[in-house]
Structure 1
Amino acid sequence: MNFQFSYGPRLISGAGAAARLGELLPAGRCLFVTDAQVRALGLADAALAGLAGAGIDTVIFDAVEADPSQATLLAAVEAGRGCASLVGFGGGSPMDVAKLAAYLLGSGDDLEQIWGLNKAIGEGLPLTLVPTTAGTGSEATAVAVITTGGTTKNAVNSPALTADWAILDAELTLGLPRHVTAATGIDAMVHAIEAYTSAHRKNPMSDVLAREALRLIAENLIRVCEAPDDREARGRMLLAAHLAGVAFANAPVAGVHALAYPLGGHFHVPHGLSNALMLPHVLGHNMHAAMPLYAELGCVIDPSLERVGTQAQAQAFVEQLVDLSVKSGLPQRLSDVGVSSEHLDLLASDAMKQERLLVNNPCPITEADARRLYEAAL
């Protein structure tokens, strides 16, 4: 059995753990990358106080937007000149910007030379990541996705982007609105599913993490939507998102993400919601190739399915996912987010640009397939 696996950053988990940031960073100035909403909600206050208490001078960069642009990334790099470390604090966007900024500041590399897989081989500045949503798993991965041009997303994927530390603090997720909780939770769920069925680098370690992540999400997603102050459930969702992040960092995601990205680029649909909208349709397309794996995941969610056959297990799995999405309160159709039939060709064409993801799908997705799947999701 031959495979390679990376565990990712060292991890601290616990309520209030973000206040310990100052213990983890080297002496010198720190660039604190976040967004304006996180600042306005006061989520960063305890972490910033901890840094100040440790005598660390902090430069705050809070201009990160959803689907961050290359201009935003380069502005963060300029803000970080002279810093000895970085913190990424927030959802996937601030963490992705922090990962790339830490690498560019430490290595001195040219951004245009490192897009793609394993082209960033230098050494970045010390980096700690603190998620405020239970979804992206960005704190666990060595990937950073940036919007280049109007709607196109490019990624840097290299072990050099892996954070030194990740902090999981459920207190930071308590105030999330229901729709954010739901969308980010389903994003993590898709990470687990696509890692488990990835055509490349799927391995026994990523499988174990993906299955546990899916189990935790299935048990806790609706609970955190309906009881948002349930700290125990919030903590389990954060852990699930992290486990799924480690899983897909090793066994990369595929067709659902490939078809989700154009929805974000053209219609500014939040990434987790884009995944939720496309998930059942892509799984249906994959069914003939991935049925045994979907059947196994169906039994993770509902062990009673072990009494029925593989096809029934796999079909029940897709139905379970749709039921979770409906109960979470998320929109279920592309038409709910502004997409109409006139956009199908554009979306399908753009999805084909996601070659790095499409190659991981259990079966091929052609442009005609993509158009059909978008049409089914209308």
Structure 2
Amino acid sequence: MQPFSFRTVPSIVVESGAARRLGALLVESFPGKTRICVVTDGFLHRSGLLDPAFSSLREHGWDLTVIDDVVADPPEHVVQEATAKARDAEVEVVLGLGGGSSMDVAKLISILASGAQTLQAIYGVGNVAGTRLPLVQMPTTAGTGSEVTAVSIVTTGAASKVGVVAPQLIADLAILDAELTVGLPRHVTAATGIDAMVHAIEAFTSARLKNPLSDLLATQALTLLSRHLLPACDQGADLSAREAMLLGAMYAGQAFANAPVAAVHALAYPIGGVFHVPHGLSNSLVLPHVMRFNAPVVSHLYAQLADIMVPDLARHATDDVKTQALIAHIEHLIEATAIPRRLREVGIELDDLPRLASDAMLQTRLLANNPKPLEERDALAIYRAAY
């Protein structure tokens, strides 16, 4: 066996209704702390979904600062303004309560609140110095896995995205409360669910740092996600389906936090950055086409995933047959959710594809993980297939 290391969140709570006793949970986890900032978005704050969590925090003596300025694909100024608010409030604990963007901003606040480093200084891999504030993550979508990863993504300039990758970004505590996801619209449930599946698939086939633990988590994630995606979409109040999706997304997050994602994400980032397509949907649009590109190299791995995900698949079929069945099954799942399947359906024109291909090649951190080397002409061909 090749040597490997594995990092994840040291404490995880999976409990429907945990938000209603959040204050007590955090008092127990961080004795002596009283000042907390909750990082979320304006829609969630206004929706009332978070009110039980806020009430519980106040009831248990927490001095609460709510930062609700987070937007999807957060730009630098959002991170910096949120950090300034947390610093002014002298917060002692940071709680990310929302989707992936809110949790990503929470990670950065926990690092930057001390003022020891600037945001620009920590871009890249391993550039965070020192410690951070105590950090808790509580997702309201089942997809990004950000609650258990050491990555935060920031939008820089008009369209480009930069990652901060450092072990300090791993939270102290992740809390999964399926009740917080019950109100998710169908299209958000679908796109975030496919996003989680991408994390698991890319971790399982990653050219770098793939390991037995990440493989176990990726396959268990796909077992849960593939079985419960459509029930969660079709019956949004099905708490057992929602909880399975949350758990699957977390497993996938733990997998790709240790065996990193690759070309699907590299090609999805320009779609989100340039055209402001949500991240999960961006991944979904290119997933089957990147899989076809990678298939000649990893059909033996796709075949193992097909055994997990594809009902009634003949176990004696060849790897190539299983691979094609897997890709077809994923395309069927995407179609059944009713989210867009083609780039042209999200406002992208044929003339935009060369720019997307060029921008995708800037994602060298991700492309290095792809099992098959990918050049700009390959990226363009994939975008054309997805168009």
Task: State if a TM-score over 0.5 links the two structures.
Answer: yes
Q: TM-score range by the shorter chain?
A: over 0.9
1:57 aligns with 2:63: yes
Q: Is the 1:107–1:124 Cα contact (8 Å) retained in structure 2?
A: no
Q: TM-score, normalised by structure 1?
A: 0.98
Tell me which amino acid in the other structure corresponds to 2:140.
Answer: T
The equivalences for 1:191-270 within 5 A come to 191-270=199-278
Please state how far the C-alpha of 1:24 moved relative to its aligned partner. 1.8
The amino acid of 1:332's aligned partner reads: R
Cα distance between partner residues in 2 of 1:58 and 1:9: 25
User: Which residue in 2 is equivalent to 1:37?
Assistant: 43
Letter in 2 for 1:123: T
Moved more, 243-252 or 1-10: 1-10
- Give the deviation of 1:194 after TM superposition: 0.2
Q: Does 1:168 align with 2:176?
A: yes
Question: Of 76, 82, 85, which aligns to 1:76?
Answer: 82
* Secondary structure of 1:80 counterpart: helix
Letter in 1 for 2:92: A
Aligned to 2:135: 127
8 Å Cα contact 1:87/1:128 also seen in 2: yes
Following the alignment from structure 1 to structure 2, what is the Cα–Cα distance between the partners of residues 300 and 107? 47
Partner residue, 1:21? 22
Contact 2:99 2:141 in 1 (8 A): yes
Find 1:179's aligned residue among 162, 187, 195.
187
Distance 1:106 1:278 in 2: 39
| 1:112 alignment partner in structure 2 | 120
Structure 2 unaligned residues grouped into runs of 5+: none
State, as a whole percentage, how many aligned pairs show the same letter: 50
> How many residues align structurally?
378
Measured after TM superposition, the shift of residue 91 of structure 1 is 0.3
* 3-state SS, counterpart of residue 129 of structure 1: strand
Deviations 1:226-273 (A, max 9, x none): 000000000000000000000000000000000000000111111111
Rounded Cα–Cα distance in structure 2 between residues aligned with 1:240 and 1:133: 12
Q: Deviations over 1:166-207 (max 9, x none)?
A: 110000000111000000000000000000000000000000
Q: Any conservation in 1 of the 2:264–2:290 contact (CA below 8 Å)? A: yes
Structure-2 change in CA distance of 1:305 and 1:104 (3 Å): farther
Q: Which secondary structure does the structure 2 equivalent of 1:146 belong to?
A: strand
CA shift at 1:121, angstroms?
A: 3.0
Per the TM alignment, residue 19 of structure 1 is displaced from its structure 2 partner at its CA by 2.6
Q: Which residue of 1 aligns with 2:72?
A: 66
Confirm or deny: 8 A CA contact 2:140 2:180 kept in the other structure.
yes
Counterpart for residue 329 of structure 2: 320
Shift in Å at residue 41 of structure 1?
1.6
What secondary structure is seen at the aligned counterpart in 2 of 1:86? strand
- After superposing the two structures, state which structure 1 stretch, 184-193 or 32-41, moved more: 32-41
Larger displacement relative to structure 2 (102-111 or 133-142): 102-111
Calculate the TM-score normalised by the size of structure 2: 0.96
C-alpha RMSD of the superposition? 1.1
Give the secondary-structure state (helix, strand or coil) at the position aligned to 2:314: helix
1:9 Cα deviation from its structure 2 partner: 4.0
Which residue of structure 1 lines up, in the alignment, with residue 360 of structure 2? 351
Q: Distance in 1 between matches of 2:319 and 2:142?
A: 31
Tell me what 1:12 maps to: 13
